Structure 1
Amino acid sequence: MARTDSRPVVKLRSTAGTGVTYVTRKSRFNDPDRLVLRKYDHVVGRHVLFREER
């Protein structure tokens, strides 16, 4: 079965400017805007905001 486009793969990039990325899926219906999550950046050594890249 093919996956639907209701949960596309998105790339999250660190706002600390280190170039660290996470890859995840999101729901287009629940989160139509760009996703912002607070995740761990191993280069900085602390949690920072990660924003969805397009």
Structure 2
Amino acid sequence: MASKKGNRIIIKLRSTESAHTYTTTKNRKNDPNRLELRRYDPTLRRHVIYRETK
């Protein structure tokens, strides 16, 4: 029997203003496009936009 590949994948979120990254998971079926979230950047000590990278 073939194993089922899940919809959840691990992605990296990279800051638009520094080199800081977060890793998280996303559901391919619910979010087919690239994510863009506003998260805290500890190097800049403020909230900035993080974009999904490969």
Displacement after TM superposition at 1:5 (Å): 3.4
1:1-54 equivalences under 5 Å are: 4-16=5-17, 18-54=18-54
- TM-score between both structures, scaled by the size of structure 1: 0.86
Aligned length: 52
Q: Which runs of 5+ in 1 are unaligned?
A: none
The structure carrying a bigger strand percent of its residues is 2
* Structure 1 stretches of 4+ moved >4 Å: none
Q: Which runs of 5+ in 2 are unaligned?
A: none
- TM-score between both structures, scaled by the size of structure 2: 0.86
> Based on CA coordinates, which of the two structures has the bigger radius of gyration?
2
